[in-house]
Structure 1
Amino acid sequence: MITKNAFTALALSFPGTEARPHFERMGFKVTGRRMFATYLDKDHTANIFLSPGEQAVFCRMDPTNIYPVPNKWGEKGATTFALSSVAVQLVTEALLSAYNEIVKKKK
Structure 2
Amino acid sequence: MPEAIEGAHMGHPDFRVGGRIFATLSYPRRGFGMVKLTAEQQELFVNTRPKAFAPVPGKWGERGATHVRLQAAKQGDVREALTLAWQNHAPVPKARRD
Q: Same fold (TM over 0.5)?
A: yes
- Cα deviation for residue 77 of structure 1 reads 0.1
**Residue number in structure 2 paired with 1:40:** 26
| Equivalent residue pairs, number | 93
Q: Tell me, yes or no, if the aligned pair for 1:33 and 1:102 is still in contact at 8 Å.
A: no
CA shift in 2, pair 1:68/1:106, >3 Å: farther
Backbone CA RMSD of aligned residues: 1.7
Instruction: Give the residue type in structure 2 aligned to 1:35.
Output: I
Partner amino acid, structure 2, of 1:39: L
Partner of 2:47: 60
Which one-letter code corresponds to 1:37 in the other structure?
Answer: A
Structure 2 unaligned spans of 5+: none
Tell me which amino acid in the other structure corresponds to 2:60.
Answer: W
- The offset of 1:101, in angstroms, is 1.1
> Post-superposition shift, 1:104?
5.1
Q: Does 2:71 match 1:71?
A: no
Q: If you compute each CA radius of gyration, which structure gives the higher value, 1 or 2? A: 2
Deviation at 1:106, TM superposition (A): 6.6
The superposition leaves residues 28-61 of structure 1 with CA deviations (integer Å, 9 ceiling, x where unpaired) of: 001x320110111742111000000000000012
**TM-score for both structures, normalised by structure 1:** 0.79
**Higher helix proportion (structure 1 or 2):** 1
Identity of aligned residues (%): 32
